[in-house]
Structure 1
Amino acid sequence: MGKAASIVCIGGANVDRKARLLAPFQLGTSHPVTTTQTAGGVARNVAENLGRLAQPVSLVSAVGDDHDGQWLIDVTSRYVNTSFIVRTPKANTGTYTAVLDEDRKSVV
């Protein structure tokens, strides 16, 4: 039997953050929140899910040469070959931030 083909995912890898209000939103005041951070990006998510299914998968992407970029590589490498992720000097890793009200509905 022949060697199994590797899967290559090409595309985005970014940090997803959610901030959820602990009290109702009031314009013009500070608000306590809880925050979560997860690894995101469509190609990264697809690669991780394939890796979790024990498929040999590599990710081709770019992240910034920053803490977020290293964090993404670290958490993704549990399931994915990350040797093709490029660390871009003088650039920030892409992020997505959602602000949610206490009922988990988007505020902004």
Structure 2
Amino acid sequence: MDKPVICIGAALVDELYAANHPMLMSTTNDATVHRSAGGVARNIAHQLALLGIPVQLISVFGNDGEGDWLKTICGYVNIQLDAAITNHSLTGKYTGILNYDRSLFTALLTNTSLDSLSPQYLQQHETLLATAFTIIADANIDTDSVAWLAQFCQRKNIPLIVEPVSVPPAQKFAKMNLQGVHLITPNEDELPAMCSNGGKTIEENAQEILDRGVEKIWLHRGKKG
């Protein structure tokens, strides 16, 4: 494959703090921390690069040590960053707090810098985007940017895949015209969140998404496949 897959969205530092003993509220808890490179778009780009597929990642990195670390990891697997942004904010971070039994207690996300991936910014990089075999956008970016990508991909006959990420960002699509989106990849929680009336059956929710313009749905059903 000569044409790249272009991934657009989050590149984050993931930190998981796991309590070494049962959690005590309103005081200090001894914990073990694990740090890894994350962000949905970056994770997808990383896996594709490991398969030998040419990849471009359009994301936002902070001008800090953690941003440099993420870019170094991208370089290790040959992810190209020709249209990535480095700004003066801190690199986005996902921080998960795990109970002693390793269940999730809570999680925090800082990722406001992705507002920089606006339709105006994407338009500046039309030449690069037009080279894509496929464009994959995660739902961390603004819906205006997804709408611009849908129109662009429809015009250029490039498949656009949208990954909803989780329920809160998926909810942004509840009333959005999805014409021009080739594929969405929700799980069972994200699918109803993307619909205008999320209380319906899986089949009814899927039909609503198709009626709003999506060509295909790849539904992840956990243990059910």
Please report the TM-score for the alignment, with normalisation by the length of structure 1. 0.90
Matches within 5 A, 1:1-108: 4-79=2-77, 80-89=79-88, 91-108=89-106
Q: Which has the higher strand share?
A: 1
Q: Distance in 2 between matches of 1:83 and 1:68?
A: 19
Q: Distance in 2 between matches of 1:8 and 1:97?
A: 26
**Could you tell me which amino acid in structure 2 is paired with residue 87 of structure 1?**
T
Q: Distance in 2 between matches of 1:41 and 1:102?
A: 25
Q: Which has the higher helix share?
A: 2
Q: Distance in 2 between matches of 1:60 and 1:72?
A: 13
**Shift of residue 51, structure 1, vs aligned partner:** 0.1
Please give the secondary structure, in 2, of the residue aligned with 1:59. strand
**Could you tell me which amino acid in structure 2 is paired with residue 83 of structure 1?**
D
Query: Of the two structures, which has the highest relative contact order with CA contacts closer than 8 Å and spacing of 6 or more?
Result: 1
**Could you tell me which amino acid in structure 2 is paired with residue 30 of structure 1?**
T
**Could you tell me which amino acid in structure 2 is paired with residue 29 of structure 1?**
T
Q: Distance in 2 between matches of 1:107 and 1:9?
A: 30
**Could you tell me which amino acid in structure 2 is paired with residue 6 of structure 1?**
P
**Shift of residue 28, structure 1, vs aligned partner:** 3.0
Q: Distance in 2 between matches of 1:29 and 1:9?
A: 41
**Shift of residue 83, structure 1, vs aligned partner:** 3.5
The answer for unaligned runs of 5 or more in structure 2 is 107-225
Q: Distance in 2 between matches of 1:28 and 1:6?
A: 49
Segment drifting more, 25-34 vs 37-46: 25-34
Per-residue deviation, residues 34-65 of structure 1 (Å, max 9, x unmatched): 00111111110110000000101111111111
Please give the secondary structure, in 2, of the residue aligned with 1:69. helix
**Could you tell me which amino acid in structure 2 is paired with residue 76 of structure 1?**
C
What is the RMSD computed on CA atoms of the aligned residues? 1.3
User: Structure 1 residue runs of 4+, over 6 Å off?
Assistant: none
Q: Distance in 1 between matches of 2:50 and 2:42?
A: 12
Please report the TM-score for the alignment, with normalisation by the length of structure 2. 0.45
Instruction: Figure out how many residues of one structure are paired with residues of the other and give that number.
Output: 105
Percent identity between the two aligned chains:
33
The answer for unaligned runs of 5 or more in structure 1 is none
